[in-house]
């Protein structure tokens, strides 16, 4: 009992630590990647040194990290923590404080259902690298991701500021427009793999199509993947879908927030980007699967030989594969964020209701026909 | 299409405001999005490669960013750039200025203030006792330099980092104008300070301002 609890806590710590670190490092990625894309240098000045003589090597390292702009993330945290926490007189004190916590809590909890690696065999136990093995994991993730929007709506409503309210309303309508396309786009995946359990879904993506193509979601559901990624980007409320924020028009739902409460909204944005990257990886890019690597070992399509790997090596390969894919998607979403301009409100609604939603419906029909045709031969 | 090239170009200009209806493929935004992502990601990978290469000393001649790290690096200026003013001096140290008031008259911002005095040499018209420029008003048009018949005022000090904590700090007195850079940043200017000829002669000599090298042919 105690051992199981300790194992669960360990997995929790691994997932939570990974997510928060990815989210935190995104402030660095955001600064540096945008700088490189725009031929700038980016953050390169923030550093501190320790006053003692023995700390010289540490100071050298700190200077180097400051030169890379990594310590800016630390400076952000110090700044946000020491700023005044201001609650407007027209606002509701309790709900105003609750909103950012709601927002960040549900974004973080959604990671519970995402498998980050294959089960690891340790001390005679099989430990799943997944916080909660829920058999309807996909639904749980979607549900939690949409509850998180309530934090945003609440923040806009209770700030006592008209523009914040407008931001909250926009968040609500945007969520309605995209949540449906998001859910419907995944029906195709669920039909094809026949499961809602994310761990099983990832395991089924480990097969090979025609003996050489990994059986990933992107290859069997390309349209679903496109619709999902678009709708999921809209879920994260970042440019080009940052209508709830929209600095030039309305300052956004967090206008009346300062200090760490604002920081939590900021963090939620980044956590949601990690969540969307992890979901895209899990659903469409094989999760922790490495092509041609099965629990038995490496087997390449051009030879019959199997190079065996130990369970631990298999798990490490899985974790590395998952992390690499997630990082690649975070990079890609950041690329989109710094390339595309914001959609106008009517364009956003058009895209959600008139393009993505019908496209997702057609995708379901086509997938159904394909499954009928491929029945018996489908892996 | 008929007509000469210029007629065709004119037609295109005339029709430029008309919107071409987009095809369904263009209306899906996808080609434009792909183009944009391609452009920004090529910049990203190129600059990332160059930043790393610079660290190990390769491809130094290809810049990875257009940034100029201002206080550490300065932008290379052209010689003709109109920078902070200076007053030129005769061989004996007195100002070349003859206080003809041309610059004060032509100045559109009216930021030049001259008090004229007698000069003992009958060949010299007058001499300024004080000569002040309020840089807070100056618009750097360079008319004073153009108007000067004696080449007494120039704008070639290559100083453009002009800042002060007070309005008075923006003034240049005659000592500073004759010897650019001699006043310390914390020191207030001596507004309307009047100097005698002997005091002008006693001022230390002024080094010629450093001029930027001519730009290499592009």
Say yes or no: B47 contacts chain A, CB-CB below 8 A.
yes
Whether B21 is in a domain gets the answer no
| Residue A378 pLDDT | 47
Tell me how many helices (H) and strands (E) chain B has. Answer: 7, 5
How far is Cα A338 from Cα A326, in angstroms, rounded to an integer? 18
Give, in order, the Cα–Cα distances in Å from B164 to each of A362, B70, B176. Answer: 67, 18, 15
Distance from CA of A43 to the nearest CA of B (A): 12
Whether A4 is in a domain gets the answer no
- B49 and B139 together in one domain: no
Say yes or no: B72 contacts chain A, CB-CB below 8 A.
no
Looking at the predicted structure, is the pLDDT value of residue B142 above 90? yes
How far is Cα B122 from Cα A113, in angstroms, rounded to an integer? 98
CB contact under 8 A, A36 and B41: no
- B52 and B94 together in one domain: no
How far is Cα A61 from Cα B119, in angstroms, rounded to an integer? 66
Tokens of A345: 């409100």
**Parent domain of A366:** 83-374
CB contact under 8 A, B40 and A40: no
CB contact under 8 A, A340 and B65: no
List CB contacts (< 8 A) between B28 and chain A.
355
Distance from CA of B18 to the nearest CA of A (A): 21
Q: pLDDT, tens digit, for every residue of B116-131?
A: 999 888 888 899 999 9
Distance from CA of A10 to the nearest CA of B (A): 36
The parts of chain A modelled with pLDDT lower than 50 are 378-379
Query: Do you find a cis peptide bond into A240, omega within 30 degrees of 0?
Result: yes
> Which CATH number covers residue B91?
3.30.70.3270
Whether A322 is in a domain gets the answer yes
| Residue A16 pLDDT | 92
CB A287 within 8 A of CB A201: yes
Whether A133 is in a domain gets the answer yes
CB contact under 8 A, B37 and A338: no
- A348 and A225 together in one domain: yes
Whether A134 is in a domain gets the answer yes
Whether B162 is in a domain gets the answer yes
List CB contacts (< 8 A) between A35 and chain B.
65
- A71 and A191 together in one domain: no
Say yes or no: A341 contacts chain B, CB-CB below 8 A.
no
- A207 and A267 together in one domain: yes
Looking at the predicted structure, is the pLDDT value of residue B50 above 90? yes
CB contact under 8 A, B40 and A339: yes
CB A29 within 8 A of CB A330: yes
Of B115, B108, B106, B88, nearest to B147 by C-alpha is: B106
What is the domain count for chain A?
2
How far is Cα B41 from Cα A53, in angstroms, rounded to an integer? 44
| Residue A274 pLDDT | 93
Return the residue of A nearest to B67 by Cα: A40
Distance from CA of A33 to the nearest CA of B (A): 7
Q: pLDDT, tens digit, for every residue of B5-31?
A: 888 888 888 877 777 788 888 888 889
Whether A124 is in a domain gets the answer yes
- B95 and B46 together in one domain: no
| Residue A379 pLDDT | 45
CB A215 within 8 A of CB A193: no
How far is Cα A197 from Cα A138, in angstroms, rounded to an integer? 7
Tell me how many helices (H) and strands (E) chain A has. Answer: 13, 7
- A188 and A152 together in one domain: yes
| Residue B208 pLDDT | 84
- B192 and B95 together in one domain: yes
CB B135 within 8 A of CB B171: yes
CB contact under 8 A, B40 and A355: no
| Residue A306 pLDDT | 83
Give the number of A-B residue pairs with CB atoms closer than 8 Å. Answer: 40
What is the domain count for chain B?
2
List CB contacts (< 8 A) between A355 and chain B.
28
The helix (run of H) or strand (run of E) holding residue B86 is strand B86-87
Whether B38 is in a domain gets the answer yes
List CB contacts (< 8 A) between B47 and chain A.
36-37, 39
| Residue B176 pLDDT | 92
List CB contacts (< 8 A) between A38 and chain B.
43
CB contact under 8 A, B44 and A33: yes
Show which of residues 91-110 on chain A sit within 8 Å of chain B, judged by CB atoms: none
Q: What is the mean pLDDT of residues B36-59?
A: 92
- A66 and A209 together in one domain: no
Say yes or no: B67 contacts chain A, CB-CB below 8 A.
yes
The helix (run of H) or strand (run of E) holding residue B12 is helix B5-14
List CB contacts (< 8 A) between A338 and chain B.
40
List CB contacts (< 8 A) between B52 and chain A.
none
Final residue before a domain boundary, out of A28, A53, A81: A81
List CB contacts (< 8 A) between A29 and chain B.
none
pTM: 0.83
Give the one of A39, A338, A340 whose C-beta lies nearest to B33's C-beta. A340
| Residue B209 pLDDT | 82
- A136 and A227 together in one domain: yes
Q: What is the mean pLDDT of residues B94-110?
A: 94
- A165 and A201 together in one domain: yes
CB contact under 8 A, A37 and B40: yes
Question: How many CB atoms lie under 10 A from the CB of residue B45?
Answer: 12
CB contact under 8 A, A355 and B28: yes
Q: Which residues of B110-140 are buried (b: 16+ CB within 10 A; e: fewer)?
A: ebbbbebeebeeeeeeebbbbbbbbbeebee
Distance from CA of A352 to the nearest CA of B (A): 12
| Residue A377 pLDDT | 54
- A131 and A72 together in one domain: no
CB contact under 8 A, B51 and A38: no
Reported as half-sphere exposure (CB side, CA atoms, 13 A), residue B8 has a value of 5
Say yes or no: A347 contacts chain B, CB-CB below 8 A.
no
Whether A13 is in a domain gets the answer no
């Amino acid at each position: 009992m105690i051992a199981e609890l300790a194992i669960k806590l360990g997995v929790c710590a691994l997932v939570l630590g990974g997510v928060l670190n990815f989210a935190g490092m995104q402030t660095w990625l955001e600064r540096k990647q945008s700088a490189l894309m725009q031929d700038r240098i980016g953050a390169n000045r923030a550093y501190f040194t320790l006053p003692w003589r023995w700390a010289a090597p540490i100071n050298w390292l700190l200077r180097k990290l400051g030169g890379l702009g990594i310590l800016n993330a630390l400076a952000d945290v110090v700044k946000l923590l020491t700023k005044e926490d201001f609650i407007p007189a027209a606002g509701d004190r309790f709900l105003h404080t609750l909103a950012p916590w709601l927002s960040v809590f549900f974004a973080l909890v959604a990671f519970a259902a995402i498998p980050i690696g294959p089960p690891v065999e340790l001390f005679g136990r099989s430990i799943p690298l997944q916080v909660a093995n829920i058999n309807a994991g996909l639904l749980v993730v979607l549900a939690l991701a949409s509850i998180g929007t309530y934090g945003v709506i609440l923040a806009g409503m209770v700030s006592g500021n008209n523009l914040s309210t407008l931001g909250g309303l926009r968040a609500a309508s945007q969520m309605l427009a995209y949540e449906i396309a998001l859910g419907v786009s995944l029906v195709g995946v669920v039909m094809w793999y026949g499961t809602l359990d994310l761990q099983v879904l990832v395991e089924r993506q480990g097969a090979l199509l025609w003996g050489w193509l990994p059986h990933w979601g992107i290859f069997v559901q390309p349209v679903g993947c496109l619709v999902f990624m678009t709708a999921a980007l809209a879920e994260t409320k970042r440019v080009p879908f940052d209508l709830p924020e929209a600095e030039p028009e309305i300052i956004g739902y967090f206008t009346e927030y300062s200090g760490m409460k604002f920081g939590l909204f900021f963090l939620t944005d980044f956590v949601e980007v990690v969540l969307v990257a992890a979901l895209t990886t899990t659903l469409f890019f094989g999760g922790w699967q490495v092509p041609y690597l099965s629990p038995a070992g490496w087997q390449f399509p051009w030879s019959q030989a199997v190079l065996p790997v130990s369970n631990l090596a298999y798990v490490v390969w899985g974790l590395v594969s998952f992390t690499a894919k997630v990082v690649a998607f975070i990079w890609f979403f950041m690329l989109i964020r710094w390339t595309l301009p914001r959609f106008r409100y009517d364009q956003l609604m058009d895209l959600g209701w008139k393009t993505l939603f019908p496209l997702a419906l057609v995708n379901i029909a086509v997938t159904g026909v394909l499954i009928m045709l491929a029945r018996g031969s489908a892996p | 299409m008929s007509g000469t090239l210029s007629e065709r170009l004119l037609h295109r200009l005339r029709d430029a405001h008309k919107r071409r209806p987009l095809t369904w493929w263009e209306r899906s935004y996808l080609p434009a999005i792909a183009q944009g992502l391609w452009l920004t990601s090529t910049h990203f990978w190129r600059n990332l490669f160059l930043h790393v290469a610079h660290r190990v000393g390769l491809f130094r001649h290809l810049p990875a960013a257009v940034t100029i790290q201002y206080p550490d690096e300065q932008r290379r200026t052209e010689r003709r750039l109109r920078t902070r003013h200076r007053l030129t001096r005769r061989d004996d140290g007195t100002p070349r200025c003859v206080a003809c008031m041309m610059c004060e008259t032509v100045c559109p911002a009216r930021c030049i203030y001259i008090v004229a005095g007698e000069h003992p040499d009958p060949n010299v018209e007058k001499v300024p006792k004080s000569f002040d420029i309020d840089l807070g008003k100056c618009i750097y048009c360079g008319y004073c330099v153009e108007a000067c018949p004696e080449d007494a005022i120039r704008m070639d000090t290559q100083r453009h980092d002009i800042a002060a904590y007070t309005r008075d700090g923006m003034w240049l007195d005659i000592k500073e104008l004759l010897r650019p850079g001699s006043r310390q940043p914390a020191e207030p200017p001596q507004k309307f300070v009047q100097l005698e000829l002997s005091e002008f002669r006693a001022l230390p000599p002024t080094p010629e301002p450093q001029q930027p090298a001519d730009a290499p042919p592009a």
